[in-house]
């Protein structure tokens, strides 16, 4: 792993390609999602040594309820299993877990698991892992606007960004999407305004540390201008406009 100077502190990931990974092996789609959990564990472990302090992943979108019923219940089971199996290890490793998204439609068992995991890991500081589950960017913006309107608070860029579900952390510096698809799919619509986008042809279960390093190296070569010109940035640290 080469030492890079321009490192993203917050990466967001659309973990796409689990279904195709499984289909290529004549396995049920859920086998791909299970493999996806293993990849996620590897990537999370690799982040602290690369100076990444926040990872936000898209695990279940508001639209994923429209998938076949057995895939939806399989994803709920994977979440419940990951909570009971992985949370103690994340706790030992200093990872703070937060779940972002609507809790509507989730079973009591899953809701309790999410709350317990958040409470248990609340004091950890090595890495923040935000799992977007039952999340959609439009849902996030619309519910934040509705809350502000109900409270009679004027809707401005500042008040809206403070009302969003990821207001506790900085916007992602780098968004990685695997699976050779080039779209955001309703992920972090507001927060990705100035995020660098990186698309990998690899299916998520095949994504590994070397693929992460390739994304980081690509990021390091980019110039983030936040609406300014290159000349304005020379010799100055970049601050958001
Ligand atoms: C997209 O691949 C992936 C998902 C909808 C689920 C991602 C979930 C995991 C990796 C498991 C981690 C889960 C938790 C709860 C931490 P796809 O199914 O759309 O793949 P395809 O495009 O090949 O069909």
Give the distance (Å) from ligand 1 centre to CA of residue 15.
6
Q: In this predicted structure, what is the pLDDT of residue 146?
A: 98
Greatest Cα pair distance, the chain, in angstroms, is 55
Ligand 1 binding pocket includes 78 (Cβ within 6 Å): yes
List the chain residues with pLDDT less than 70. Answer: 1-4, 235-241
Taking the model in full, what pTM does it have? 0.93
Q: Answer whether 212's CB lies under 8 Å from 52's CB.
A: no
Q: In this predicted structure, what is the pLDDT of residue 236?
A: 56
Nearest to 73 by CA among 28, 13, 24, 23: 28
Q: In this predicted structure, what is the pLDDT of residue 4?
A: 66
Active site residue 64: yes
User: In angstroms, how far is CA 37 from the centroid of its own chain?
Assistant: 13
Distance in angstroms (rounded) separating the CA atoms of residues 121 and 219? 30
* Token pair of 212 as six digits: 């992460």
Q: Answer whether 12's CB lies under 8 Å from 190's CB.
A: no
Distance in angstroms (rounded) separating the CA atoms of residues 158 and 106? 31
Q: pLDDT tens, 83-139?
A: 999 999 999 999 999 999 999 999 998 999 999 999 999 999 999 999 999 999 999
Q: In this predicted structure, what is the pLDDT of residue 241?
A: 41
Q: Please report the domains of the chain, with CATH numbers, ordered by start residue.
A: 10-136+171-221 (3.40.1180.10)
- Nearest residue by C-alpha to atom 12 in ligand 1: 37
Q: Answer whether 109's CB lies under 8 Å from 120's CB.
A: no
Ligand 1 atom having least distance to the Cα of 23 = 23
Active-site residue identified among 34, 53, 64, 93: 64
Give the distance (Å) from ligand 1 centre to CA of residue 229.
38
Nearest to 82 by CA among 44, 104, 42, 114: 114
Active site residue 116: no
Q: In this predicted structure, what is the pLDDT of residue 223?
A: 85
Distance in angstroms (rounded) separating the CA atoms of residues 126 and 50? 12
Distance in angstroms (rounded) separating the CA atoms of residues 14 and 187? 8
- Nearest residue by C-alpha to atom 1 in ligand 1: 16
Ligand 1 binding pocket includes 79 (Cβ within 6 Å): yes
């Amino acid at each position: 792993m080469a030492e890079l100077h321009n490192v993203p502190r917050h990466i967001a990931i659309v973990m796409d390609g689990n279904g195709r990974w499984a289909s290529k092996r004549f396995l049920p789609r859920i086998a791909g999602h299970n493999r996806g959990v293993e990849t996620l564990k590897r990537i999370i472990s690799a982040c602290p040594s690369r100076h990444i302090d926040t990872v936000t992943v898209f695990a279940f979108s508001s639209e994923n309820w429209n998938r076949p019923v057995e895939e939806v219940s399989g994803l709920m089971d994977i979440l419940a299993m990951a909570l009971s199996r992985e949370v103690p290890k994340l706790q030992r490793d200093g990872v703070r877990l937060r779940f972002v998204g609507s809790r509507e439609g989730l079973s009591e068992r899953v809701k309790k698991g999410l709350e317990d995991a958040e409470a248990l890991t609340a004091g950890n500081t090595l890495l923040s892992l935000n799992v977007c589950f039952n999340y959609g960017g439009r849902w996030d913006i619309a519910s934040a606007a509705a809350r502000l309107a109900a409270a009679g608070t004027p809707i401005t860029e500042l008040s809206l960004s403070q009302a969003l579900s990821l207001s506790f952390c900085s916007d992602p510096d780098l968004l990685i999407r695997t699976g050779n698809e080039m779209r955001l799919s309703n992920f972090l619509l507001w927060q990705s305004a100035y995020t660098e986008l990186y698309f990998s042809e690899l299916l998520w279960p095949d994504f590994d540390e070397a693929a992460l390093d390739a994304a980081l190296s690509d990021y390091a070569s980019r110039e983030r201008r936040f609406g300014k010109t290159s000349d304005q940035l020379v010799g100055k640290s970049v601050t958001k406009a």
